[in-house]
């Protein structure tokens, strides 16, 4: 197999609510060559609470990548033939972890978790118009338990380990893409702590005009 043909592969991590998968596609027609997937466990400690183990998510993605790479090699490709890897994920699901150890500080709170309903009520009570859409012109979103901001607030207020890590400036927080990229690019050994606007726009913390974190929303 020639190097020109082998160079036209793209990998995709698809980390959904129930399944994590990794697939490799061949350009230019985006033919799917190989795919592997695993189920991700949902944890429901209380009615309306939905959590997942960040380590299970990470290890599930890693397993899928290893299995697909083995399939590639069995069919005459090499891992280095994958030119780039993209990520699609459950965007509002929120993870907090210790940047020094790489260990999660709590289970991930999943997008459809509604434990912050009472927090929404408190936020609305402090707003002059008590309107769910008060910040829509800035964030493009209503005040809702769906998005990451209130999940992060709940974690800081209710989980001692998170509060302590925040005080000591060793708490990293992000959506699933951030957790995966940080770990897959080195983790505690220089992993990239990044996201993109498609995920940031679902946190209720990003200004949709400037495409930067908004000081008012963060406050």
The predicted structure's pLDDT at residue 3: 47
Q: What is the pLDDT of residues 19-36, one digit of tens each?
A: 999 999 998 889 999 999
The arithmetic mean of pLDDT across residues 179-183, rounded, is 98
Pairing status of strand 82-89 against strand 94-98: unpaired
177, 196 Cβ separation under 8 angstroms:
yes
What whole-number distance in Å separates Cα of residue 82 and Cα of residue 77? 9
Q: What is the pLDDT of residues 123-143, one digit of tens each?
A: 999 999 999 999 999 999 999
What domains appear along the chain, each with residue ranges and CATH number?
Answer: 1-89 (3.30.420.40), 91-219 (3.30.420.40)
The arithmetic mean of pLDDT across residues 6-10, rounded, is 78
The predicted structure's pLDDT at residue 28: 87
6 has pLDDT over 60: no
For the record, the structure tokens of 58 come out as 């990470």
What whole-number distance in Å separates Cα of residue 216 and Cα of residue 37? 40
Alpha-carbon separation of residue 83 from 10, 150, 182 (angstroms): 6, 37, 19
């Amino acid at each position: 197999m020639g190097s020109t043909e082998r160079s036209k592969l793209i990998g995709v991590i698809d980390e959904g609510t129930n399944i994590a998968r990794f697939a490799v596609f061949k350009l230019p027609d985006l033919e799917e060559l190989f795919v592997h997937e695993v189920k991700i466990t949902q944890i429901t400690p209380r009615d309306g609470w939905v959590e997942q183990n960040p380590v299970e998510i990470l290890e599930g993605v890693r397993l899928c990548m290893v299995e697909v790479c083995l399939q590639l090699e069995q069919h005459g490709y090499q891992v280095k033939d994958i030119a780039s890897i993209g990520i699609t994920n459950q965007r509002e699901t929120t993870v907090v972890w210790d940047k020094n150890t790489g260990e999660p500080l709590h289970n991930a709170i999943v997008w459809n978790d509604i434990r912050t309903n009472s927090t929404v009520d408190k936020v609305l009570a402090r707003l002059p118009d008590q309107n769910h859409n008060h910040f829509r012109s800035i964030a493009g979103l209503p005040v809702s338990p769906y998005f990451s901001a209130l999940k992060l607030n709940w974690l800081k207020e209710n989980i001692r380990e998170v509060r302590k890590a925040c005080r000591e400036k060793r708490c990293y927080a992000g959506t699933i893409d951030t957790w995966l990229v940080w770990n897959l690019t080195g983790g505690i050994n220089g992993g990239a702590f990044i996201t993109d606007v498609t995920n940031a726009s679902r946190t209720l913390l990003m200004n949709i005009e400037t495409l930067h974190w908004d000081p008012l929303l963060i406050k």
